[in-house]
Structure 1
Amino acid sequence: MKSRETLARLRRFQVDATHRRVAQIETMIAEFSKMARELEREIATEEQRAGISDISHFAYPTYARAARARRDNLQRSAEELTTQLDEARLFLDEALAGPGKERILDGGGATLLAG
């Protein structure tokens, strides 16, 4: 009986940690997306101010070029985080429906052990 309680506690801890990780990754993706949108607006403003929107133009604004690179990096990072988010959600699903017929319920940390 003691080992079942220990196992249930361990799995509850894993589920809680994974919930936190999922929330953290979702927050990071949202922040990166917001920052990328802000950079997009700044790029458009800078291009409009300079009157040059062709990236290959010799007088293309340096700030706009740097902002484009930063935006691209943020978008790439958000894509990588999306992959991590999918993996974390898969782990969470597996932890919630793991072997031994133990189910860890999300609400209030309650545990249901099925024989």
Structure 2
Amino acid sequence: MKSRDSLIRLKRFQVDEKRRQVTQIEAMIAEFNRMADELDDQIRSEQERVGITDVTHFAYPTYAKAAATRRDNLRNSALELNEQLERARDDLSEAIEELKKFEQLEERDQQRERDSLDQAEQDQLDEVAGRMRAR
């Protein structure tokens, strides 16, 4: 029983760790998207300021070009993180299923122990009742 308790604690720790990983990846994706959106706003603002929206124009702002590159890198990173997020969610699901199996085994063992104690108590009561009738 003690080894199973330790194993269940370990599985719970693993589930918690995988949940933290999923949450962390989700936060990173949200932050990258937020930063990319801010860069979009800055690019539009710079284009409006100089009055040139054609990226191929010779006078297109250097800042807007650099911001667009950073924005694109952030969006690509967010896409890569989405793939990691899917893997992390799959790992979390597997860890939860594994934990459930061990918890169900533990519950089954505890139920057997309760049933055994109940049966022993019933046997004692039957024995006492049999002695009382025999008198």
Which protein has the bigger strand share? 1
Does residue 1:76 correspond to 2:69, yes or no? no
Task: Please report the RMSD computed on the Cα atoms of aligned residues, expressed in angstroms.
Answer: 1.9
Would you identify which runs of 4 or more consecutive aligned residues in structure 1 move more than 6 Å?
Answer: none
Residue in 2 aligned with 1:22? 22
Residue in 1 aligned with 2:2? 2
Task: Provide the rounded CA distance (Å) in 1 between the counterparts of 2:33 and 2:105.
Answer: 39
Classify the secondary structure of the residue corresponding to 2:58. Answer: coil
Which protein has the bigger helix share? 2
| Larger radius of gyration between Structure 1 and Structure 2 | 2
The unaligned stretches of length 5 or more in structure 2 are 109-135
Does residue 1:45 correspond to 2:38, yes or no? no
Task: Provide the rounded CA distance (Å) in 1 between the counterparts of 2:19 and 2:47.
Answer: 42
Q: TM-score, normalised by structure 2?
A: 0.73
Identity of aligned residues (%): 56
Does residue 1:89 correspond to 2:82, yes or no? no
Residue in 1 aligned with 2:60? 60
Most deviating of 57-66 and 90-99: 90-99
Task: Give the deviation of 1:112 after TM superposition.
Answer: 7.3
